[in-house]
Structure 1
Amino acid sequence: MTTLLIVESNTPAMVTAGQAGAFGFVRAFAGFAPEVRIRLTAPYAAALQPEELRGVDGVIFSGSGVPWGVDTAEAKPLRDAMEIVFAEGLPVWGSCNGMQLGAVVLGGTVGDCPNGTEIGTARNIALTSPGTAHPMLSGRAAGYAVPCIHFHEVQSLGSDTVLLAGNDHTPIQAIACASGSVDFWGTQYHPELALADIGAYLRGGTFGDAPGLIDNLEVGDTDATAAAALGTSLPELANRTLELQNWLAHVRATRAALG
C-alpha cells in the first residue's frame, strides 16, 4: 500500500475559508489510484515533525494562494518542511507554489511574473531535450495545455535542477532534481486541478472580473467549445493528471527498489 503525505501550503485561515491546496490532490488520486493512503500536514499551522514521515512513500507540496513569495520570511515554515523531507530522501512532488518552493530550496530564485498572471491554462508548453526523456513527462507531446493560475514564477534554477518544459509566458513550467538525497519533480501548472476549480477560485473575486474566462473555465472540462477557447481540448483535459500518475509510478518504483 502506497502512503502519500500532502503538505498543505495555505494558511489555516485560508483552509477554513475553503481554499485548501490539498483538496485537488485528494480528489485526483481518488480518481486514478483510490487505493493510495493520504495523510495531511500543514506547516503554517504547526511545524512539520520528522516522525510524520514514518511510513510515507512520497510527499506532495500543494499550490497556495498566499500573497508572499516562497523566498520570504513568511514562507520559512514551508522551506523548513521541505528541507526535512529532502533530508529523508523521499520522492517529492510540487505544484505551482510547491515547484517554486523546491526551486528556491535547491538554489534557484523566484519573482513576480514579468508577463503578468498566467491564468486559466498554461498553453503551448514545449518540452526541453531533457524533458522528452524524463519519466515525469512520458506521454506528453509538444504544445500541450493544462490548468494553471500563478502570479509568481521561477526565474532561475540551482545548478542541479533540470528544466523539463516551458512556454512563452513562463519559461520554467516543469523541473526535476536528483542530487544526493533530493528526488524532486515539480510543475508550475496544476495537473491536480480541473478547469472548474480554477473557475470557482476566480468567481470568488481574487483576480477581479473576468466573466468570459470564468464562464469557459466553469464548463470547459465537458464543453469542447469552451475548452478550445482556453487553448486545450477534452481529450487533453481527460489526461491532465498524467504527470501525477507518472510520479506515483516513480514513487512505487523507488519504494520497491528499497525493498
Structure 2
Amino acid sequence: MADGKGRSPKILIADGNTRDRNEAMLAVGGELGAALYANEIRRMFPHAELVTIYPADGDAYLPKGVGLADFDGMVMGGSGLHAFDQDPEVTRQVDLMRDALDAGMPVLGSCWGLQVAAAATGGTVNQSPRGREVGVARKISLTAAGRGHALYCDKPAVFDSPCIHYDEVTHLPSGSVVLAENAHSAVQAAVIRKGAGVFWGVQYHPEFNVPHLANLYRRYKDDMLSQGYFVDEDDLERYCNELSALHQDPSRLDLRWRLGIDDDILDADIRCREIRNWVESLG
C-alpha cells in the first residue's frame, strides 16, 4: 500500500460509549466518536474498509464469522466511562483490548482508548488531581522519544489538540514509553506493548473537529455551567456559535484570537497527523 489514496486497510473501530450516552450525543446534533474516527480515516484513506462495533453494550463484538485476525488494526476512541470501574460495560472493553494485543494487532487509541490499554496491561488510571481538561489540551510537548517516533512524523514538537477527560493514566505498565506530555497530564501519549501487540495512544482527541467541541459543550451543559466554565447558558451558546463561525471561516483572525484556536486544530491534516501516521504504519 504505497500511497495514502490507494491504501485499503481493514480497520476495526470500537466505540467506547454505551447506547444511552451515544443517544445523548445524537440528541444535541453531535456525531458518535466512532463516526468521527471513520470520517477522518476515510478522508485520508478512501479505500479503507471500516467495521464499527459497540462493545460497551454487550452486543457481539464482531459480525458472525469475523475474527480479530481478519483486521489489519483496531481503533478505540473516547468514552464517558471510567477505566478503573469494574462494571461490565468497562470490563468488556478491557477484555477486548487485551484480546487484540494478545492477537498481535496494532491498536490506536485516544483518551478512553489509552486508559483502557493501560488498564488491560497492568497500568493504573485515576481521576486527575487537576480536574477536567476540556475543549483544548494546550501546549502538548513531545518527549525525546516522541520526537523520534513514527506516530509524530511531521507533527509539530508543541501543539494544541481537542480534548475532554476527567481521568488520566497515572502509571504505565513496564516497558511503555511516554511520547508526549503537558502541564495537565504527564502521559499525553504513550506506546504500550503486550506480547506481539503494539498500542499507540494519546490522551487527547485528534479525531474531534471544532463543531464537535461545540456539541460536547452542549452535551455536558450542566457540568460546564456548574463547574464555572461558562457564566450561564447564553454564554455557553455564544461560545459555541463562535466555534461554529470559526469552522465556517477559519481565516477569521478575531475568532482565532478570542478562542485561542490555531491551525493545529483547524487544519485537519495537522490535527489528524497521528491517525494518518498510524494507518500508514499498518503497511
- State the TM-score, normalizing by the size of structure 1: 0.89
- The residue aligned with 1:257 is none
Shift of 1:108: 1.4
AA partner of residue 72 (structure 1): D
AA partner of residue 30 (structure 1): R
Residue among 76, 83, 100 paired with 1:70: 83
- The residue aligned with 1:40 is 52
* Structure-2 change in CA distance of 1:139 and 1:78 (3 Å): same
Shift of 1:179: 4.5
AA partner of residue 156 (structure 2): A
- The residue aligned with 2:244 is 218
- The residue aligned with 1:227 is 256
The CA deviation string for residues 179-212 of structure 1, in whole angstroms up to 9 with x for no partner, is 5222100101111110220111111325323326
Partner secondary structure for residue 95 of structure 2:
helix
Residue among 109, 113, 120 paired with 2:128: 113
How many residues are matched? 250
The CA deviation string for residues 118-151 of structure 1, in whole angstroms up to 9 with x for no partner, is 1111111111111111000111223200111111
Residue among 272, 276, 283 paired with 1:241: 272
Say yes or no: does 1:163 pair with 2:178.
yes
- The residue aligned with 2:37 is 25
Say yes or no: does 1:5 pair with 2:20.
no
Pick which of 121-130 and 219-228 moved more: 219-228
Say yes or no: does 1:58 pair with 2:73.
yes
Distance in 1 between the 2:119 and 2:255 partners? 36
Determine if contact 1:123/1:232 at 8 Å carries over to the other structure: no
Residue among 160, 171, 187 paired with 1:145: 160
* Structure-2 change in CA distance of 1:219 and 1:169 (3 Å): farther
Shift of 1:217: 3.4
Shift of 1:178: 3.5
Shift of 1:246: 0.3
Shift of 1:168: 0.3
* Structure-2 change in CA distance of 1:245 and 1:187 (3 Å): same
Distance in 2 between the 1:193 and 1:24 partners? 7
Determine if contact 1:146/1:232 at 8 Å carries over to the other structure: no
Determine if contact 1:196/1:220 at 8 Å carries over to the other structure: no
- Unaligned ranges ≥5, structure 1: 254-259
AA partner of residue 202 (structure 1): Y
* Structure-2 change in CA distance of 1:228 and 1:96 (3 Å): farther
The CA deviation string for residues 203-257 of structure 1, in whole angstroms up to 9 with x for no partner, is 1325323326534433444244333444441365311000000000111x2xxxx
The CA deviation string for residues 163-188 of structure 1, in whole angstroms up to 9 with x for no partner, is 00010011210111245222100101
Shift of 1:155: 1.1
Shift of 1:82: 0.7
* Structure-2 change in CA distance of 1:230 and 1:184 (3 Å): farther
Partner secondary structure for residue 175 of structure 1:
strand
Distance in 2 between the 1:70 and 1:127 partners? 25
Distance in 2 between the 1:206 and 1:174 partners? 29
- State the TM-score, normalizing by the size of structure 2: 0.82
AA partner of residue 245 (structure 1): R
Determine if contact 1:227/1:234 at 8 Å carries over to the other structure: no
The CA deviation string for residues 69-99 of structure 1, in whole angstroms up to 9 with x for no partner, is 1121121011011111111111101111111
Determine if contact 1:147/1:193 at 8 Å carries over to the other structure: yes
Distance in 2 between the 1:10 and 1:31 partners? 23
Say yes or no: does 1:80 pair with 2:106.
no
Report the RMSD for the aligned CA atoms in angstroms: 2.0
Distance in 1 between the 2:78 and 2:243 partners? 19
- Unaligned ranges ≥5, structure 2: 1-7, 231-235
Determine if contact 1:131/1:163 at 8 Å carries over to the other structure: yes
Residue among 18, 23, 28 paired with 1:16: 23
